[in-house]
Amino acid sequence: MTGERLGDLPFDDCLALLRLRRVGRVALVIDDYPLVVPVNYRFVDLPGRHWIVIRTRPGGAIERAGMHCAFEIDDIDEEHRTGWSVVVRGTLHHLDRDAADFATRFDPDSWVVGEEGTWMVIEAFHISGRAVREPNHDWALDPS
């Protein structure tokens, strides 16, 4: 077996994957301990800005969390032992859903939280990704 199985994903691939998905995980620190929470999200890609928009329960863990957080999406193929992961590191902020018609344009379409939910945004300062690829095989004999 030769070749790199683990490698970085190009930045543009990370952005494309963030645009395609709608469910991810937010990593926060609550009461001095890490907490990971699954969420529905919408990726907003504006010139010079990358945001993850989520809706959460008023008074819930996400709303009570500190400002620093991470967000992650991934996909795993256990049979082929391949997969990828994209991680966004950023800061968590409250969002006025009525500003600039934001709710209509960028609704994260929460499965659990209704319209009364608190709108939050993760403003990204670092986006990276990694992939585990299928191994390359060098055969001793030419299979043809």
The domains of the chain, with CATH numbers, are 8-129 (2.30.110.10)
Q: Measuring CA to CA, how many Å separate 48 from each of 69, 94, 124?
A: 20, 20, 10
Beta-sheet pairing, 23-30 with 33-40: antiparallel
Nearest alpha-carbon partner for 53 in 29, 86, 84, 88? 88
Summary mean pLDDT of the chain? 87
* pLDDT tens-digit readout, 119-133: 899 999 999 999 998
Q: Which of 17-26, 64-73, 135-144 has the least mean pLDDT? A: 135-144
The mean pLDDT of 70-99, rounded to a whole number, is: 93
Which of 51-55, 68-72, 118-122 has the highest mean predicted lDDT (pLDDT)?
68-72
Nearest 5 degrees, angle CA 85-CA 89-CA 93? 130
Query: d(Cα 118, Cα 10) in Å, to the nearest integer?
Result: 33
pLDDT > 60? residue 110: yes
Interacting residues of 6 by C-beta distance below 8 A, sequence separation 6+ = 130, 131, 132, 133
Torsions phi, psi for 105 (to 5 deg): -80, -30
Rounded to two decimals, the pTM is 0.85
Instruction: State the pLDDT at residue 62.
Output: 93
CA distance linking residue 62 with residue 47, whole number of Å: 26
CA distance linking residue 114 with residue 41, whole number of Å: 14
Instruction: Calculate mean pLDDT across residues 16-40.
Output: 95
